Amino acid sequence: MTQHTIIRLGHQGDGIAEGPVFAPRTLPGEVVSGTLNDSQLTDVRIDVPSDDRVAAPCRHYKSCGGCQLQHASDALVADFKADVVKAALSAHRLETDVRPTLTSPAQSRRRATFSVKRTKKGATAGFHGRASGVIVEVTDCLLVDRALLPALEVAKALALVGSSRKAEMSVSATLSGEGLDISVQGGKPLDGPLRIQLAQATETHGLCRLAWDGEVIAARGQAFQTFGAARVVPPPGTFLQATVHGEHSLQALVMEICAGARSVADLFAGCGTFSFPLLAHAEVHAVEGDAEMTAALAAGWRAAGGLRPLTSEARDLFRRPLLPDELKRFDVVVIDPPRAGAAAQVAQIIESTVKTVAYVSCNPVTFARDTAQLVSAGFALEWVQPVDQFRWSSHVELVGKLTRL
């Protein structure tokens, strides 16, 4: 056994001591001991606890890998996530006002992806253990909305009819406007008998929609999501913000940046998370690489009726970013790229006449990289707002406001 003092938290939420030595579920200032294997401390014992250490509220915390920071106070976690953003900015010598973190409440996740596998006695469904392929059942998970928990039993039932004993299925469950929206990956190939069983399962469990490897098998209603004044039916398993609280926080921040704009480009628009709220005040051109998501966005706009003009196009913004001549008619560009960021599109924004950018990011590192390019070209980073809709994890999202000087 060796003893160490934890200096800080790493980006994955582990405590880090000099060496470096990584100790899971420890906090800055704590004195800990354990068995040192290379740089990893195992069998960790807390010798001197931090004042910010709390009792983990979930009984599954020790075995489940879904959360990394339930042993820390809410204030420490919020500060940690703001510090992750500050560190990413500092790496590019960027300074700005980093606002206090906005955190979604417990039991607010409206979507989750469960792992499920058949067993000798039936099936097991839940999340993987920490750094493990073992599935931990989480019957009373404190992350997800209570209305999402029945999806665990649905996942088990689907595994019994559609999974082999050796394979693990992935079951994505989303709360829609008319019930559970289920999308399954990794099951058996579809055939006639399986289709019949899946259709029966949809009725038995009262599912709104069931998709199998991207194909809709049965639907008892419209699996819609509400964005602004529109109802949109996303493709099965498509990306949505994790919590309604987080979504509304991000929307409010984007609306703050776009105040007074008459024409907005919404890039990496998804199914319209930002496009539809923006239509309350501006015309919007929405660009998304996924053709199905673009079609869902356009259909939602047509069905809503009476909204301001919206145009949309399916376009790969990594390979074909909007060019300066296309960008010149927009007052503000909203950009919400995946984790890889948007280097190609940022290069075109720099060459354009766009004066304001609302940058939504799920990766502070690529956000800082792209922002550094904008700042070096004459933009100012006015503020950054961290948003935490992945409570008790190390993940953090943000919105940044950039204006051309």
Residues flagged as binding site for S-adenosyl-L-methionine: 241, 268, 288, 336
Instruction: Please provide residue 117's backbone torsions phi and psi, each rounded to the nearest 5 degrees.
Output: -150, 145
Alpha-carbon gap, residue 352 to 346, rounded angstroms: 10
Length of the chain: 405
Task: State the catalytic residues.
Answer: 362
| 186 and 169 Cβ atoms separated by less than 8 Å | yes
Alpha-carbon gap, residue 55 to 66, rounded angstroms: 17
Which residues does the annotation place in the binding site? 241, 268, 288, 336
3-state secondary structure of 185: strand
DSSP assigned state of 72 = B
| 342 and 335 Cβ atoms separated by less than 8 Å | yes
Give yes or no for a cis peptide into 324 (omega within 30° of 0).
no
| 151 and 180 Cβ atoms separated by less than 8 Å | yes
Is beta strand 111-119 parallel, antiparallel or unpaired with respect to 168-176?
A: antiparallel
* 160 Cβ contact partners less than 8 Å away, ≥ 6 residues apart: 118, 122, 123
Provide the CA 1 distance to its chain's centre, in angstroms: 38
**Burial track 278-294 (b if 16+ CB lie within 10 A, e otherwise):** bbeebbbbbbbbbeebb
* 306 Cβ contact partners less than 8 Å away, ≥ 6 residues apart: none
DSSP per residue over 134-155, as a string?
-EEE-TT-SSB-GGGTHHHHHH
Element (H, E) at 193: helix 192-204
DSSP per residue over 231-250, as a string?
EE-PPTT----SBHHHHHHH
Which residue's entry shows tokens 């809410």?
74
